Structure 1
Amino acid sequence: MSTKILALDTATENCSVALLVGETIYSRSEVVPRDHTKKILPMVEAVLKEAGLKLSELDALAFGRGPGSFTGVRIGIGIAQGLAFGAELPMIGVSTLAALAQGSYRKTKSEHIACAIDARMQEVYWARMSRQNNGEWLATDKECVIPPSVLVEKTENDEVVWTKSGTGWKAYSEDLSDLSISVSEGGVELPEAQDIVVLAQFEWQKGNTVDAENASPVYLRDNVAWKKMPGRE
């Protein structure tokens, strides 16, 4: 029986939705920095209609859990929780940094990705990801939020050529040009739900789901409050 997972992401300027049905992915994506709330549900309706499915017929609902824009992450998880509650679907949170890595692999086939999302406040959300034989991604650096100048000091050279991915490379190009690692161009700048849904399938197969009331964001900054859903402790 085909696995059916819906994924949505609003953690960055990009607003995207994807529906995985077996090996087929239906997707919508648009860069709309201030219109996520207007765009996301029509995108959900569009991919479900294209696939000929109802929300209640799906197996799980995946979402970009962050890091990313605080408002964007909250919008995404709030809408995802609402849909999951209504259809009684389990949820799967996927790192937006891992989604960047998957997107870069989809575009370039590079298996070593240096992900940097512009976190504002002179910082980047950072992680280096390496693709494993089974298609999953392993973070060789722990996901973090860090000033580019500090990242330059802490990052040691290795023998890997890392493909640059994310908005942080352009936003802090001068500082990050001093990194001692070898890098190449060609990655993607923004995460997409079509890559989130691919990664969500791995978590689904391992049984790594949560109930809607327990789904939570990852901000990486400690000074951000998350308004809990009813019933959350």
Structure 2
Amino acid sequence: MPFLAIETSSEHLSFAINTPSGIVSREWLVGQKQSEVTLPYLQAFLNECGLTMRDIEGIAYPSGPGSFTGLRIGCGITQGLAFARNIPVVGISTLLSIAEASGAIRVVSCLDARMNQVYFSAFEKHNGQWTTLIDALVCNPEDVPMPDGDGYTGVGNGFSVYQAALDARLGAKIDIVRSELFPHAAQLLTLALPTFAAGQGRPADEAELVYLRDKVALKTHERVQK
């Protein structure tokens, strides 16, 4: 059964679909043009895969944190497509997505949150399953929490934007920094597939976005009110 992932949380737009031979994905650098290009690029991607939305059994989307506009676009498109097909959705943390992309076991994820702040979390993988060591938060780079132990891989553009502050704070904890990693649909789908397989996807109207500055997860009716 093919499932689709739509990743719009950054200036990189990407899609992914699982096939019998593995996950197929495509990615474009679109800047702030997600609202203009996401649907036509998605149609082109589906055509390339020889599929239509009638073939898709569920949709994964980035639940945040990230660009408010990008997240809303991704969630809105996901909801519209899922409503039309009456298929489930799964939201995946962008911070966990880049942890998955690293291939590491102990990861500190850090994304630029603008306003001289970062989105931050820490994870560890055991037997193929991720455990959250530090819950996602937004803070100044010099104030990020210290994870227990050492041997971490640092991932995300926060490590390039705030290199000096994060190195001073976390340098003794981190062995490798991969600031080039960004949220991608391939990892988003990889993380969502077990939830789909377990029948634990959610109805489209229950899709949530996590806005850490608001410290809440907003559902559809709450986003309309804001």
Q: TM-score, normalised by structure 1?
A: 0.87
Letter matched to residue 208 of structure 1: Q
**In structure 2, distance between residues paired with 1:147 and 1:58:** 40
Give the CA deviation at 1:7: 0.4
Pairs within 5 Å for 1:94-105: 94-105=92-103
Does the Cα contact within 8 Å between 1:100 and 1:188 map onto a contact in 2? no
Name which of 142, 148, 156 aligns with 2:141: 148
Match of 2:51 in 1: 53
2:134 partner amino acid? D
Asked if the contact 2:79/2:207 (under 8 Å) is kept, the reply is yes
For residues 127-138 of structure 1, the aligned pairs below 5 Å read 127-133=121-127, 135-138=128-131
Give the TM-score taking structure 2 as reference length: 0.89
Deviations 1:169-202 (A, max 9, x none): 1111111011241331346431100110111102
Describe how 1:1-233 pairs up with structure 2 within 5 A.
3-105=1-103, 110-133=104-127, 135-151=128-144, 154-156=145-147, 158=149, 160-178=150-168, 179=170, 180-186=172-178, 188-222=180-214, 228=220
Deviation string, structure 1 residues 10-61 (Cα, Å, up to 9, x no partner): 1112111111124422211112221112222233223322222221222111
- Report the residue type matching 2:93 in the other structure: S
Q: Which structure dedicates a bigger proportion of its chain to strand?
A: 2
Please state whether the residue corresponding to 1:185 is helix, strand or coil.
strand
Q: After alignment, is 172-181 or 64-73 more displaced? A: 172-181
Aligned partners of 1:142 and 1:172: how far apart in 2? 20
Distance (Å, rounded) in 2 between the aligned partners of 1:171 and 1:52: 40
CA distance in 2, matches of 1:140, 1:188: 22
Q: Name the stretch that deviates more: 140-149 or 175-184.
A: 175-184
Q: Is the Cα–Cα contact under 8 Å of residues 16 and 28 in structure 1 kept in the other structure? A: yes
Return closer, same or farther for 1:123/1:227 CA change in 2, 3 Å cut-off: same
* CA distance in 1 between partners of 2:148 and 2:90 (Å): 34
Identity of aligned residues (%): 33
User: Quick one: which amino acid aligns to residue 155 of structure 1?
Assistant: M
Larger mean Cα displacement after TM superposition, 200-209 or 180-189? 180-189
List gaps (5 residues or longer) in structure 2.
none
CA RMSD of aligned residues (A): 2.3
Match of 1:164, as an amino acid? G
Change over 3 Å in CA distance of 1:156–1:214 after alignment to 2 = closer
